Structure 1
Amino acid sequence: MKFGMGTLDDMNHLKNKRIRSVADLLQDQFGLALVRLENMVRGTICGAIRLKLIPTPQNLVTSTPPTTTFESFFGLHPLSQVLDRTNPLTQIVHGRKLSYLGPGGVTGRTASFRIRDIHPSHYGRICPIDTSEGINVGLIGSLAIHGRIGRWGSIESPFYEIDKRSKRIRMLFLPPSRDEYYMVATGNSLALNRSIREEQIVPARYRQEFLTIAWEEVHLRSIFPFQYFSIGASLIPFIEHNDANRALMSSNMQRQAVPLFRSEKCIVGTGLERQVALDSGASAIAEHEGKIFYTDTEKILLLGNGETLNIPLVMYQGSNKNTCMHQKPQVQRGKCIKRGQILADGAATIFGELALGKNILVVYMPWEGYNSEDAVLISERLVYEDIYTSFHIRKYEIQTHVTSHGPEKITKEIPHLEAHLLRNLDKNGIVTPDLG
């Protein structure tokens, strides 16, 4: 470095970072549990020697250290979270989050701007749009739609290798340290008119810079135009014409959508709605081909390969966000189906496609001053016709205790309350079904 013969390492380059997966965290906790178990066994043996006793294997090895260690990890670790199941998109996006926070990482108050900023090595690996808002902006990201975690914890991105001799295209997954040595062009920029010499140049990326080169010099090209975005951002139509801040808000707001009573498929989409709904697991998919023998709201019986398959359906289950998880059959008795066909739609899915809302008419116009500033006027049909009605399931529990004055009782006879306030309670003081 003193004589100018080297370069400084970029700390924010992805080649200098590694992903710590859930398996790595569990491996650390398992090692901690073994250390605690070893200390317990040593203490038991030392105590038995002092008392001149012979300990039994049951007294030496117990499951208490591993159990308490893993319970503490899942309950108290900062990165241990309950899966967000507000809608199918939220469920699949939550599992693809990348975080700089937690033990061994940074905090929202001490992280510098260089850590939060977008780096060229994120190209095709970490979404440049989908991140948290607020103090954790740039610290919590989302894996790109085609990115994957490599063997050594690096994020790999797929590319098509262009072979000039055999004219064959081969797909490669490259880590951040290797794709810098290739001329990488976008997948939709190679449809050129070879008869016009001025059109035989394409934009390409080389060593974290964007260049314009001849198409013969291209080594790799991307496989998909949405390859650089996350799943949430790739569901935004015409994202290339959107402001980045608005696209960030949109990708986060899609995860806040609750399943509606009557959902609709979007009129304008990106083509990934069906794949997102399929990968989320919200819909019931036929694993074998066969014929529908019986169907109702609870199960579907499928005859295939000489045996009957019982496919149970999810019925009005509450998610951890209190939204309603329910599957509706989409096949009829006697119908022959193929493997991979949709058997039942889940929450916020219609015919196997993601349906997060309704298609409504929006008008941008002043209306006698009622929609001044950020005010919005809505039609009364949205309320009276249950267009945006959604189901929520909550569980309430009450306990009775035995006190010094006797056992507590649940009763309807509550003093100093008028009769109309108790009209929804039965004789035992329990809320009447369908009225709570």
Structure 2
Amino acid sequence: QANPLAELTHKRTLSALGPGGLRRERAGFEVRDVHHSHYGRICPIETPEGPNIGLIGRLAAYGRVNRYGFIETPYRRVIHRLSIDDEALIGHDVAEDIVDPETGETIVEAGQAVAQKHIKAIKTAGVEEVDVKPFVTDEIVYMSADEEDHFTIAQANARLDGRRQFTETRISARRNQKFIFSNAKRIDFMDVAPRQIVGVSASLIPFLEHDDANRALMGSNMQRQAVPLLRPDVPIVSTGMEEEAALNSGQVVIAREDGEVVSVTGDSIVVIGENGPLHYALRKYQRSNQSTCVDQQPIVVRGQKVRVGQVLADSSSTRGGELALGQDVVVAFLSWEGGNYEDAILVSEELVRNDKFTSVHIEKHEVEARDTRLGPEEITYDIPNVSEDALKDLDERGIIRVGADVQEQNILVGKITPKGEKELTPEEKLLRAIFGDKAREVKDSSLRLPHGARGKVVDVQVFTRQHDRDLPAGVETMVRVSIAQRRKISEGDKMAGRHGNKGVVSRIMPVEDMPFLADGTPVDIVLNPLGVPSRMNVGQILETHMGRACAGFGRQIEDALDAYRRTHKLDELKKSLTHVYGDDKTVAGLKDDEVVELGT
């Protein structure tokens, strides 16, 4: 649970170990290797680096398990022949001449598109099915590894024209374990997407195809170890899987139905829909099982209309409903006075000052009051030999208040334990019976904050035997105190990119001592250029160039692509409306919003 990606990939883990499986000591290279049947089913990149390499894997991005327990992957069906009554026939090129058997006249020549006027003539000729130039449909077929061996499957990036017909004569494809070049007539199916072959973590790496597999493996594994930051950035150079990963991690709050936001507070969102108000409770400063902080923040405002499936609140390591594991910073590949020798990383003081790589960690501290042989332990404010100043943040029960700032050795929970006593004489026993046992000696066994720790108390839980039956035997009361601590980046911390380019911070440099760009912008991080050629992860260089270009544009590349898609769709809509209204000038003079309104 270190971050949403770690949570998601943990649920998609496949293991060859365990009962009825293999033993890591006996498993050889054959069972660990990537197999052709893994294509689109098991990620060839993401696997542990240790003794479990190849035995533990991850489900590929679009893989699913069928009811028989086999992993299936989706393909798009390729059509070679259409019925004469099928409406899809109009507009598609025929593969060979259609000839009228009585007159011998050619109705449609090979390569010519079938029009509405040809249909009647083709029916008259007695032709029931027409061979067309192969084209790809939206029909999705899931197949297991043994089923796909009988078909020829084209790669997802095979070029198609506007009618989804193959444009190339030699198409890269695969059939029965072999990668081949095939012509369009022999293609049966087509991959749905290039990322189909890899898992979720690997598909988050931009320019993955330019990275060596060993480094891509490290990159995908290290993304799962990323500590949630205070204010993370959605990567400028992203792959498009960031939103899917965040939504499917279960960490973000998603609208269950359409409605209007009527209330937004720090810990809840209220949306009024058709069926009345819906309350969404937010998780605040909760501790994950890796001691990281899970804290959800609303991203909608009062009065905003929301649709079903829309993100209402971000969690740790997400921004705007997209996965955000790190920061966008200015990086230089430069040897700098030996400071980045052997993969060491030089970091600017500005990053520390601006809390760019600052994270919140929540540690829990527990204390138990047991029923001992000498008498019960007691949680109390009355602790012997302790100054009033040390007790200032404790309540009347002896438990620290929520919101208190604590340093090492501060008392979190006051507790006293009966001391062992020597055998009492009959006279002492009589005096004890008369005057009570106030005189008994006790020792201070309070819960104190360990050395090196500090932070703020964010939660206190008290469990008693009366209300919690599942307390361990002999425990009467248990108190759990959660303390949040902000940790800034410091020397010795490990940093990593998405391409397996990892290193340790060797020195935090003053801004004035860092190299700078031509316009005077100081660099945030200095990496060693010798870390690129031998590792063969050139993707980091391409990401740096792309990121620099995008930062200059002042927006994400994805936004530019979305705008292009919208413009493209608008142009298509304009063409359709021109056909309907038959007047090009009328449509051309409309504004974009008016065109959409007219189209709907």
Instruction: Give me the TM-score of the superposition, normalised by structure 2.
Output: 0.55
**SS at the partner of 2:344?**
coil
Q: Residues 201 and 221 of structure 2 are in contact (CA less than 8 Å); yes or no, is this contact kept in structure 1?
A: yes
1:145 to 22, 36, 61: 61
**SS at the partner of 1:266?**
coil
2:171 to 176, 198, 202: 202
Match of 2:85 in 1: none
Q: Residues 136 and 190 of structure 2 are in contact (CA less than 8 Å); yes or no, is this contact kept in structure 1?
A: no
**SS at the partner of 1:392?**
strand
Superposition map of 1:84-233 within 5 A: 85-166=1-82, 167=135, 169=137, 170-191=139-160, 199-233=168-202
**SS at the partner of 1:396?**
strand
CA distance in 2, matches of 1:198, 1:350: 40
Superposition map of 1:360-379 within 5 A: 360-379=329-348
**SS at the partner of 1:165?**
strand
**SS at the partner of 2:185?**
helix
Match of 1:348 in 2: 317
**SS at the partner of 1:378?**
strand
**SS at the partner of 1:399?**
strand
CA distance in 2, matches of 1:224, 1:173: 14
Q: Is 1:273 aligned to 2:242, yes or no?
A: yes
Q: Is 1:316 aligned to 2:232, yes or no?
A: no
Q: Report deviation, 1:404.
A: 4.3
CA distance in 2, matches of 1:98, 1:248: 16
CA distance in 2, matches of 1:305, 1:430: 46
Q: Residues 286 and 341 of structure 1 are in contact (CA less than 8 Å); yes or no, is this contact kept in structure 2?
A: yes
Q: Report deviation, 1:338.
A: 1.9
2:352 to 383, 397, 417: 383
Q: Residues 160 and 220 of structure 1 are in contact (CA less than 8 Å); yes or no, is this contact kept in structure 2?
A: yes
Mean CA deviation greater in 403-412 or 97-106: 403-412
Q: Residues 345 and 352 of structure 1 are in contact (CA less than 8 Å); yes or no, is this contact kept in structure 2?
A: yes
Match of 1:408 in 2: 377
Aligned-pair identity in percent equals 43
Q: Residues 260 and 273 of structure 2 are in contact (CA less than 8 Å); yes or no, is this contact kept in structure 1?
A: yes
CA distance in 2, matches of 1:86, 1:298: 22
Mean CA deviation greater in 396-405 or 104-113: 396-405
Unaligned 5+ runs, structure 1: 1-84
Q: Report deviation, 1:162.
A: 0.4
CA distance in 2, matches of 1:247, 1:209: 24
CA distance in 2, matches of 1:142, 1:268: 24
CA distance in 2, matches of 1:301, 1:395: 31
Match of 1:434 in 2: 405
Q: Residues 291 and 362 of structure 2 are in contact (CA less than 8 Å); yes or no, is this contact kept in structure 1?
A: yes
CA distance in 2, matches of 1:401, 1:173: 59
- Counterpart residue identity of residue 219, structure 1: D
Q: Report deviation, 1:191.
A: 3.2
Q: Residues 255 and 309 of structure 2 are in contact (CA less than 8 Å); yes or no, is this contact kept in structure 1?
A: yes
- Counterpart residue identity of residue 371, structure 1: N
**SS at the partner of 1:308?**
strand
**SS at the partner of 1:293?**
strand
CA distance in 2, matches of 1:223, 1:250: 25
Q: Report deviation, 1:221.
A: 0.8
Change (3 A) 1:246 1:338: same
Change (3 A) 1:149 1:219: same
- Counterpart residue identity of residue 355, structure 1: A
CA distance in 1, matches of 2:291, 2:342: 33
Q: Report deviation, 1:134.
A: 0.8
- Counterpart residue identity of residue 213, structure 1: S
CA distance in 2, matches of 1:271, 1:173: 23
CA distance in 2, matches of 1:409, 1:122: 60
Q: Residues 131 and 248 of structure 1 are in contact (CA less than 8 Å); yes or no, is this contact kept in structure 2?
A: yes
CA distance in 1, matches of 2:178, 2:162: 25
Q: Report deviation, 1:423.
A: 8.3
Q: Is 1:256 aligned to 2:225, yes or no?
A: yes
Mean CA deviation greater in 205-214 or 405-414: 405-414
Could you give the per-residue CA deviations for residues 201-259 of structure 1, whole angstroms, max 9, x where no partner exists? 01111110111111221111101110000000000001000010010000000000121
Q: Report deviation, 1:144.
A: 0.7
- Counterpart residue identity of residue 434, structure 1: D
Could you give the per-residue CA deviations for residues 63-96 of structure 1, whole angstroms, max 9, x where no partner exists? xxxxxxxxxxxxxxxxxxxxxx211111111111
Higher strand share: 2
Q: May I ask how many residue pairs the two structures share in their alignment?
A: 348
CA distance in 2, matches of 1:321, 1:127: 25
Q: Residues 190 and 215 of structure 1 are in contact (CA less than 8 Å); yes or no, is this contact kept in structure 2?
A: no
Instruction: Give me the TM-score of the superposition, normalised by structure 1.
Output: 0.74
CA distance in 1, matches of 2:372, 2:314: 50
CA distance in 2, matches of 1:405, 1:313: 46
Change (3 A) 1:306 1:135: closer
Q: Residues 76 and 136 of structure 2 are in contact (CA less than 8 Å); yes or no, is this contact kept in structure 1?
A: no
Change (3 A) 1:424 1:209: farther
**SS at the partner of 1:264?**
coil
Could you give the per-residue CA deviations for residues 314-338 of structure 1, whole angstroms, max 9, x where no partner exists? 1111111121111111111122222
Match of 2:265 in 1: 296
**SS at the partner of 2:174?**
strand
CA distance in 1, matches of 2:20, 2:275: 55
Change (3 A) 1:252 1:407: same
CA distance in 2, matches of 1:248, 1:141: 11
Unaligned 5+ runs, structure 2: 83-134, 407-454, 456-600
Match of 1:243 in 2: 212
CA distance in 1, matches of 2:280, 2:347: 42
CA distance in 2, matches of 1:193, 1:288: 36
Could you give the per-residue CA deviations for residues 276-304 of structure 1, whole angstroms, max 9, x where no partner exists? 11111211111111111111011111111
CA distance in 1, matches of 2:142, 2:289: 36
Could you give the per-residue CA deviations for residues 78-130 of structure 1, whole angstroms, max 9, x where no partner exists? xxxxxxx2111111111111101111111222101000001111111111111
CA distance in 2, matches of 1:179, 1:394: 50
Change (3 A) 1:313 1:193: closer
Task: Give the superposed CA RMSD.
Answer: 2.5
CA distance in 2, matches of 1:306, 1:193: 44
Could you give the per-residue CA deviations for residues 31-70 of structure 1, whole angstroms, max 9, x where no partner exists? xxxxxxxxxxxxxxxxxxxxxxxxxxxxxxxxxxxxxxxx
Match of 1:28 in 2: none
